[in-house]
Structure 1
Amino acid sequence: MNEIPPGLLFALLALLIVISAFFSSSETSMMALNRYRLRHQAKSGHRGAKRAMSLLARPDKLIGVILIGNNLVNILASVIAGAVFTKLYGDAGLAYATIVLTLVVLIFAEVTPKTIAALHPEKIAFPATLVLRPLLWLLAPVVWLVSSISNLLAKLVGVETSDQGGEAEHLAPEELRSVVFESGALLPTKHKGMLLNVLDLDQATVEDIMIPRNEVVGVDLDCTAEDILQQLAESSFTRLPVFRGDINQVVGILHLRRAAQILRDGPEELTAETLKSHLIEPYFVPEATPLPTLLMNFQKQKRRMGLVVDEYGEVMGIVTLEDLLEEIVGDFTASPVPSEDEEIIEQGDDWFLVEGGTSIRDINRTLDWELPTDGPKTLNGLIMEHLESIPEGNMSLYLKNYLVEIIEVSDKMITQARVKKMER
C-alpha cells in the first residue's frame, strides 16, 4: 500500500465513505418506511414498494447484509486512512487518522445520510432496494451465518424471532384511534370524527343511547278509538310501540303507513282489533348490548326500532336505528318534536342551564365536556349518586372539575341545574 500514490488512496477513501453513507441511509430509510402505506403502494403495483416489502419480510437478513457491508467498508476505510496518515505524518499519523476519520464518518457517513433518510424514507429506500437485493443474494451464506448466530443469541435471552412481521404490523383499537386522530389534513374533520365515533362504539351500550321509558310515545289499545286517533294524529314518529295500559304490555310496533291504510276506509275502521292485525312483532334488546352488536342485529333482523329491557324483563325505553347512526355521524336531522324548552341553554360566563333528565353523553357531545359516563346516564342520576340522596332545595357541589348549582327539584328528581366547567 506504500507504493500507491496518496491521491489515489484519498480517492478510494472518499469512495468508501460514500458507500458507507449508502448503507447507513439504506438502513434508516428501510426501517422508517410506513408499513401500511408500503402495503398500499405494493398492492397498487409500485415496483420499489414490492421490492422493499420482500426485503422487510425478513428484517434479520436485511439488517445483516446492510451491517456486513457497512462494517466491511468502514474497516477498510480505517485501514487505508491509517496507512495514508502514517505515510504523511509518521507514528503520529494513526492518532490523526482516528480523529479525522471519526469526524468524517460521523458527519458524512452516519448523521447526515441517516437524517435525510429519516425525513425522506421512500426516496432513499426504493432505489436502494435495487442494490440491496442482489447484494443479499451474493452474500447469502455470510448473511445466513450471521443471522443464525444472532437469532440463537436472541432466543437465549428470551426473544422469539420466528414471527418477525406478525403482531407488530397489527394495530390495536387505541393505536388505530391515534392514527386517525393524528391524520391531520389527510382526512376532513367530519370524516375523522365519524371514524373516531365508529372506534368508540365498543365503549357504549344500548342503555347509553336509548330513549328512556318516561319519554316514549306510543299507542294504548285500552283507550277509546277517538283517543287512539288523536294519538296517531299528534305523533311525529314513523313507528310507535302499541301496548295495553302499560308499556310493559307491548303488543307490537305500528308503522304509521299501515295506520293510514286503515284510516283510508274511514275513522270508524280504527279499532283495537284492526290495529293489532297491522302490527309488527316487537323486537327486544337487552340494555347492556354493545352498540356494534346492536347495529349488526338491526341489520340482520331488518329492524329499525328495539324495545330495551333490563335483566328482569321490564321495558326501560326504546332504541332506534337513528339513535345509533347519530352516535357515528352526529345529529343529522332536526328534532322530530319541536320543543320550546331546550335541554341545554347557554347563560353566559361559561354557565349552562341543563335539564336533569339530559343524557350525560349528549352534554359531553354538545359542550365538549368530559363528565363521567361509566355510571349514571343522566345529569340527575350523576348528581344524586354524588349526594346519595334527593336534595331538599337549591345547593351547589363539585363533580370533579365541574361546578353544579341545583336550581329546581321535584319529589323524585333534580329537574334543572346550572353547570360550569372550572379551570384545573
Structure 2
Amino acid sequence: MNSSSTALRFVSRKCMSTASCCSEWRAVRRAAVEKPRMIDLLWMIPLMVLLMAVKAFFAGSEIALVSSDKIRLRHRASQGDSKAAAVLKVERRPELSLATTLVGTNISIVALTTLGTILMVRFFGEQGELWAILIFSPIFLIFTEVVPKSIFQQNADRIAPLVVTPLRTFMFIIFPVVYGFALLARTAARLVGGKGMRHVSMTREMVRAVLDQADTAGDVSSLTWNRLRKAFQLADVTVGEVMIPLAEMTTINKRDATASAIALACGKGHFRIPVYDDEAGGITGVVALNVWKLLQPGIAETPLESLIHEAEFVVAQQPVYELLPILKQREDRMAIVLDEFGSAIGMVTLEDIQEEVLGDFVGVGYNIPGYVHRTKHGIKALDGGIYELDGRVPISHVNDLLAVNLPSKEAHTIGGFVTAELRHLPAVDETVDAGGYRFRIVDSAGHFVRTVRAEPI
C-alpha cells in the first residue's frame, strides 16, 4: 500500500507539473502572438521600407545605366566630369554592372519577402503567407520596380552619374560574387553562340545627336555643322531631287560633227554632253571633252562617234549615296536619269551631289561668257515665317526647312509637289495646303512652276 500511494502521489505531482507547463507554454504563445505586434511593427516596417529603397535603387540604376546617352557622357567626360567618366568606365564591362544590380536586387527582394511573410504569419497565423502575397506583391512591384525605373529612365543622363559611385562601391564589396556571375553569363552566352560586345558601332541617330550637341555647345562653326548635317541628309535624298531636268539639259545629236560639240562646250561651258539618237529614241551616250582632248591636233576632224562612250543609267528614286561611289569611278562623272518607261528625264553629275553638302561652288566653265550657273537652292526668307522657294528646291530641303513631312513619292521638287496635289496644270495664285503651310504659286512659265511661296496657316 505504501508503495502504491507513493507512486500515485508522484504521478499526481507529475501531471500537475505537466499541466502547469502546458498552461505556461500556451501563455507564452499567446504573448508571442499578441504582445509582439507593436514591437514587430516598430522594427520590421522601417527595415522593410529601407530594403524597398535599396531594391528601387538597384532596379533604377540598371535602367539608368542602359538608357543614359553615351554621346553626352563622353562629351561631359572630355570636359573633365569625373562622374561621367566613371559611368563610361562601368559601361565598358556591362556584364559586371548588370550582375551587380541583379545581385543587389535579388538580395533585397529575398529579404523583403522573408520579412513580409514573417510579419503576416505573426498577424494571421497559417493564412499569413497568402496575405503576404496579396498585400506585398503589388506594393513591391509598384514602388520598387515600376516607379523607380520610370523615374530613372526619364532622367537617365542626370541620375546615372549620381548612382555610379555607390554602385561601384557595392560592386567592390561583393566583387567575387559579381565576377563569378559575370563569368558564368559569358560562358553560357558562348555555349549558345553569343558574343560579347566589346565595340558598339554608332548609329546615324547617335551621330546626329553628336552634331546637335556640338552645335548647341558651339564646338564647331555653323558652316561646318551645316555641311555635316547635310552629309547625313544624303541618305534621305534621291537622284530625282538633285538631277538637272531634261528641259534644261544641253545635248547633241549623234550624227553631228565633233566641231559642233567643241563649239557647244566652249560656248556654254558644258564639257560633258549627253548624246541622243533619233533612231534609238533617246539618249544613248555621253561625250566628255576635257582640256587634254581639246588640245589634241585634229580633234575637230575626229568622228564624234569615236568620242562617245556608254552612259550610266539610273532611276529617279535611287538614293544619291548609292550613286556617289559609281560616279567617282566614271570618267564623265555623270549619269542619265530614266523614268519608269525607260525614257530620259534628266541627268545628275558628281558636282550636283557634292553641292548638296558643300553648297554651290565654282567649277569649270564659270569664266566662259555663255555659261549660266544653275542655282538649285533658291530659298528666300521673308517676314512672318514666309519663304519664297524656287520650284526646283527638293522636297527633302523643304521638309527640313519648314519642319514638315511632305510626301515625295509622286514628285521630287516643291514645284512638282504642288502640281501633283493640284492634279492639273498649275496657274499663278493657286494654292495647296499641307503640313500647316499654304503653298501658293507665285510665278510659272508655261507648264513649269518657277516660284512657290510657303505661308504658315
- Provide the TM-score with structure 1 as the length reference: 0.60
Which residue pairs with 1:159 in the alignment? none
Q: Deviation at 1:383? A: 3.1
Q: Deviation at 1:270? A: 0.4
Match of 1:402 among 432, 438, 455: 438
Match of 2:312 among 268, 283, 300: 283
Match of 1:121 among 148, 151, 160: 160
CA–CA separation in structure 1 for the residues paired with 2:403 and 2:156: 42
CA–CA separation in structure 2 for the residues paired with 1:347 and 1:66: 58
Which residue pairs with 1:317 in the alignment? 346
CA–CA separation in structure 1 for the residues paired with 2:338 and 2:311: 12
1:253 aligns with 2:287: yes
CA–CA separation in structure 2 for the residues paired with 1:378 and 1:75: 65
What's the secondary structure of 1:385's corresponding residue? helix
CA change 1:50–1:417 in 2 (3 A) is: closer
Deviations 1:209-237 (A, max 9, x none): 21111111244454456543321212334
Q: Deviation at 1:377? A: 2.4
Deviations 1:254-303 (A, max 9, x none): 132243223xx3xx640351x44444442222333222321243356676
Which residue pairs with 1:214 in the alignment? 247
Contact 2:274 2:283 in 1 (8 A): no
CA change 1:31–1:251 in 2 (3 A) is: closer
CA–CA separation in structure 2 for the residues paired with 1:347 and 1:72: 65
Deviations 1:165-217 (A, max 9, x none): 98xx88875x5476356535356355554454444434332222211111112
CA change 1:75–1:331 in 2 (3 A) is: same
CA–CA separation in structure 2 for the residues paired with 1:40 and 1:341: 40
1:183 aligns with 2:213: yes
- Within 5 Å, give how 1:89-238 maps onto structure 2: 119=158, 121-122=160-161, 124-125=163-164, 128-138=167-177, 175-176=205-206, 179-180=209-210, 182-183=212-213, 185=216, 188=220, 189-224=222-257, 227-238=260-271
Which letter maps to 2:104?
Answer: I
CA–CA separation in structure 2 for the residues paired with 1:346 and 1:200: 21
Which residue pairs with 2:128 in the alignment? none
CA change 1:223–1:326 in 2 (3 A) is: same
Contact 1:28 1:118 in 2 (8 A): no
Which letter maps to 2:262?
Answer: L
- Within 5 Å, give how 1:23-102 maps onto structure 2: 28-29=60-61, 31-33=63-65, 34=68, 36=70, 49-56=88-95, 59=98, 61-70=99-108
Which residue pairs with 1:295 in the alignment? 324
Q: Deviation at 1:343? A: 7.9
Which residue pairs with 2:359 in the alignment? 331
Q: CA RMSD in A?
A: 5.5
Gaps of 5+ in 1: 1-13, 79-105, 148-161
Greater Cα radius of gyration, structure 1 or 2: 2
CA change 1:118–1:396 in 2 (3 A) is: closer
Which residue pairs with 1:8 in the alignment? none
Q: Deviation at 1:307? A: 1.6
Deviations 1:84-129 (A, max 9, x none): xxxxxxxxxxxxxxxxxxxxxx9xxx9xxx8999636346425742
Contact 1:304 1:320 in 2 (8 A): yes
Gaps of 5+ in 2: 1-45, 79-84, 117-143, 186-192
Match of 1:270 among 300, 307, 310: 300
CA–CA separation in structure 2 for the residues paired with 1:379 and 1:49: 45
What's the secondary structure of 1:318's corresponding residue? strand
Which residue pairs with 2:18 in the alignment? none
Deviations 1:392-420 (A, max 9, x none): x644323322241454452xx04544523
What's the secondary structure of 1:183's corresponding residue? helix
Which letter maps to 1:290?
Answer: P
CA–CA separation in structure 2 for the residues paired with 1:68 and 1:340: 68
Contact 1:407 1:417 in 2 (8 A): yes
CA change 1:303–1:133 in 2 (3 A) is: farther
CA change 1:131–1:216 in 2 (3 A) is: same
Which letter maps to 2:317?
Answer: A
Identity of aligned residues (%): 16
What's the secondary structure of 1:306's corresponding residue? strand
Contact 1:20 1:73 in 2 (8 A): no
Match of 1:383 among 392, 398, 418: 418
Q: Deviation at 1:36? A: 4.1
What's the secondary structure of 1:270's corresponding residue? helix
CA change 1:47–1:368 in 2 (3 A) is: closer
Which letter maps to 1:66?
Answer: G
What's the secondary structure of 1:420's corresponding residue? strand
CA–CA separation in structure 1 for the residues paired with 2:350 and 2:294: 23
1:374 aligns with 2:409: yes
